[in-house]
Homo-oligomer: A and B are copies of this chain.
């Protein structure tokens, strides 16, 4: 079995320019199998469940391209993920752009196959419905795993029951489904950055009654990033947890390339400080979703997304190394 020491590191930008070569996640080698991998970086090119602007099917390639700017060491925690873990780009999950239900099955199967090797998944999406088959793939592949806690960065709660007169599987519903299916423990879920006008006064009623801790953007301001992180740690507590980062948690000035932008969001500095405050949580999987390149002619959204992937990779690597 490999150890991190002889596992391939990212291509070195000090030697080979960052614009050179086909882009893989973090300039890591592309692998067909998760065998011997600790953390699998997986693209999920899908936007079949979005309710407004599409384009997240193009997210994985844009994230890969932007991730070539990432280096190897976290600048504040000094975590070195590639020293702690064996990390690889597993390519993209199969998806079917014209078949939502089929794609749910394909992604679950792919994540489960990764999980079967013991590896963890850090996914780059893809629309937010994709968190559902990832969670299915993680939980169903591992007997006895209890519902997970979750730290959820987003402008939206994504706990609607249906859209469009009965559609139960959209990017507005994944966490309702996941709770119903016993994949998540709502009392260990914290949602950060929620905002935007409401359809009805009680839009959040189901989520709140289920026990989800919602920290709206206004409360984020009051608590400050450190306060939010502390609250997130309190809610999620000990036990395995998932981290999902919807890029629309950020203000659209920082991340315009997304399908349902909401004005007045987090700044990347706030988000990074919050993420850095989550060290110690027992994350076993994560995703960064809703990056839609066609709506960002400048490309900054993918840059921000890749930066968040690196922040999260450091959290995962430390969590895994300290098991």
User: A residues bordering B, Cβ < 8 Å?
Assistant: 12-24, 30, 43, 45, 47-55, 57-58, 60-61, 64-65, 69-76, 78, 80, 89, 91-92, 94-100, 102, 160, 163-165, 167, 169-170, 195-201, 203, 216-218, 221, 251-254, 256, 260-261, 263-264, 267-269, 272-273, 294-300, 303-304, 307, 310
Report whether B73 and A197 are in contact in the complex, using a CB–CB cutoff of 8 Å. Answer: yes
Report whether A14 and B163 are in contact in the complex, using a CB–CB cutoff of 8 Å. Answer: yes
Report whether B99 and A167 are in contact in the complex, using a CB–CB cutoff of 8 Å. Answer: yes
Report whether B164 and A71 are in contact in the complex, using a CB–CB cutoff of 8 Å. Answer: no
Report whether B48 and A98 are in contact in the complex, using a CB–CB cutoff of 8 Å. Answer: yes
The answer, among B53, B164, B296, for a CB contact under 8 Å with A14, is B164
> How far apart are the CA atoms of A179 and B296 in the complex, in Å?
40
Q: How far is the CB of A219 from chain B (nearest CB, A)?
A: 10
Report whether A17 and B51 are in contact in the complex, using a CB–CB cutoff of 8 Å. Answer: yes
The answer, among B20, B94, B295, B300, for a CB contact under 8 Å with A253, is B300
Report whether A197 and B58 are in contact in the complex, using a CB–CB cutoff of 8 Å. Answer: no
Q: How far is the CB of A156 from chain B (nearest CB, A)?
A: 11
> How far apart are the CA atoms of A267 and B73 in the complex, in Å?
25
Contacts A22-B30, A254-B251; A57 near B17 (Cβ below 8 A): yes
